Structure 1
Amino acid sequence: MAALAAAAFALLSAGTAHALDARYTDADGDLVADAPTDPKDWIDPDTLVFAFTPVEDPAVYADVWKGFLDHLAATTGKKVQFFPVQSNAAQYEAMRAGRLHVAGVNTGGNPLAVNCAGFVPFAMMASKDGEYGYEMEIITYPGSGIEKVEDIKGKKLAFTSETSNSGYKAPSALLREEFDMEAGRDYEPVFSGKHDNSIIGVANKDYPAAAVANSVLKRMQAREVVKPEQTKTIYKSQTFPTTGYGYVYNLKPELAEKVKQAFFTFNWEGSALAKEFGSTEPPQETFIPITYKQHWEVVRAIDKAMGVDYACR
């Protein structure tokens, strides 16, 4: 990963991809949309709609998030509804259209959500001592004939979606920069749609290899959806930030502050969130404050290396 990391830092020194949609302003230079200055442009919904990034079965996460959403309702004085989005694109479009107010957005999707949907990330899951992050892993199954990255040549490699950091952008940049391997020329890219689809696909030998977030892999192993012996890792990347949690830019400022308060006052002890996310390494057992400008630098650098366009359609 050293070559990719060096390329990323070189890009950082030269500036990273950034292009807020024309409907937003950024007077303070923090790279996210400012709240409207005119109160008539604020939204103050009776029901707050929350969506978690669609990395796995949305029905599973409705139960996982219930305790937190009850706390969010009590803190804000609003009704709260869980929105089981089926795709990253649907999540961003719902926020852009004003139908989604609070969300957890996947690592690679944060730049698009920030620039095109007015997403304002402010929190991330971490351990109690502030450690956070996950790695991209390229996995295969025992007996696939793939022992190292170069063995993927001539075979299929499963990605998740083109907005995913660990499921597409980081591994594509890695394969290009470190192994001189291009999609279409050296391997056949296929898209599963979600990390769990890729992981199950490899475990069931439908895909010879896949690029996934190891945080998702560990959670699926903890729930015994797949067994550790069904997959093996042939590459592990540097650490990336995890899902970013935030609100839509035009949420009434007082309400936005209450949303932030809910995240930072939630009691994880014995919660479904702790049970679901505590199995990662480092364990995710609290919310910590973050900024998009600082914590997503390396992601924006990879986007620039990949020629990703944040133009909103």
Structure 2
Amino acid sequence: MKPIATLAAIGILAGGFAAAPAAAQEQCPRGALDSRFCDRDGDLVADTPTDERQLIDPATLIFAYTPVEDPAVYRSVWQGFMDHLAKVTGKRVQFFSVQSNAAQIEAMRAGRLHITGFNTGSNPLAVNCAGFVPFAMMASRANEFGYNMEFIVQADGPIQRMEDLRGRTVAFTSQTSNSGFKAPSALLQQTYGLVADRDFKPAFSGRHDNSIIGVANRDYDAAAIANSVMTRMVARNAVDGSKIRSIYKSDPFPTTGYGHAYNLRPELAAKIREAFFSFPWEGSALLAEFEKSEPPQEKFMPITYQEHWKVVRDIDAAMNVSYACR
């Protein structure tokens, strides 16, 4: 993608975010982190608390997959992994169906969610406001990873190029989504001079699958989506790929980041990481679902928020997105 120009600040999550008190910023190094957290090692994620009383060791671990598609489908897809997680940690593991990025972030911030995958755009908010510690991402066996943001339209429709979106209804997912809102919004304004509500009518579908199906069913003229989601939906016949055409494809972005809450006991956090990297993918429902992506997602690879999410943080900075929360 081309360099992104600075845009006006946007509101993030219902209820909004407020700046952390200045006094709280002086208590410990934290950068953009909420005042509840410290970052003494400078890796941009919350440190494990040094006070034993702040550490948690739940009898049941709550796991959630990012709310990109139908949670009922992914409960069974993730069951084999959750069984492995339970075996490695010695804990019960329960699947939690989250309905939105905002609800997912709030659940971890409130201590009701221990292990999860946040979508690309939600990772910075989850890290800074909820104490999320990402450490893994799906990749191919050759360590290839990522997805592209695409603008899709009806295959037999009149829209042929990005400039043709003027006067049309364009679907986004939610304001926390990288490929579903932030990156495409910046692209539309900076590169094509198209501003929401002035040059096109924005609509929010809530999820990538809703946007994709909405374009196929002519509910929207176009949509900004993550092509990894579309690839999987076409592969399992959830949408007819022949009804959709792409008019723009970005450079790759990192995919869903998997991690745990910052205040788990270190021994438990280590076991959770072990479970991710020791999971046997061969013959699993996880492989059957995610190998349909391009590149195929066939294992968990180690990542750091500081390195792998830099491109996303740069987009957020260009859009004046604040990670402060209340």
Q: Same fold (TM over 0.5)?
A: yes
Alignment of 1:35-46 (within 5 A): 35-46=48-59
1:2 and 2:15 equivalent? no
C-alpha distance after superposition, 1:8-61 (max 9, x if no partner): 9xxxxxxxxx61000000000000000000112100000000000000110000
1:257 and 2:267 equivalent? no
Show the counterpart of 1:77. Answer: 90
Alignment of 1:101-140 (within 5 A): 101-140=114-153
- How far apart are residue 143 of structure 1 and its match? 2.7
- How far apart are residue 284 of structure 1 and its match? 0.2
SS in 1 for 2:286: helix
Distance 2:208 2:322 in 1: 23
The one of 178, 200, 212 equivalent to 2:191 is 178
Query: Which structure dedicates a bigger proportion of its chain to helix?
Result: 1
The amino acid of 2:47's aligned partner reads D
* Aligned residues of 2:156 and 2:243 also touching (Cα < 8 A): no
Structure 1: where are the runs of 5+ without partners?
9-17
Show the counterpart of 2:16. Answer: none
Structure 2: where are the runs of 5+ without partners?
7-30
Distance 2:188 2:169 in 1: 14
The amino acid of 2:203's aligned partner reads V
- How far apart are residue 2 of structure 1 and its match? 2.6
Show the counterpart of 1:283. Answer: 296
The Cα RMSD (Å) is 1.0
Alignment of 1:152-163 (within 5 A): 152-163=165-176
- How far apart are residue 107 of structure 1 and its match? 0.3
Distance 2:208 2:66 in 1: 11
Alignment of 1:139-150 (within 5 A): 139-150=152-163
Distance 1:203 1:170 in 2: 22
Alignment of 1:140-289 (within 5 A): 140-289=153-302
Distance 1:3 1:231 in 2: 28
The amino acid of 1:192's aligned partner reads S
- How far apart are residue 144 of structure 1 and its match? 2.3
- How far apart are residue 75 of structure 1 and its match? 0.3
Percent identity, aligned pairs only, is 66
1:297 and 2:310 equivalent? yes
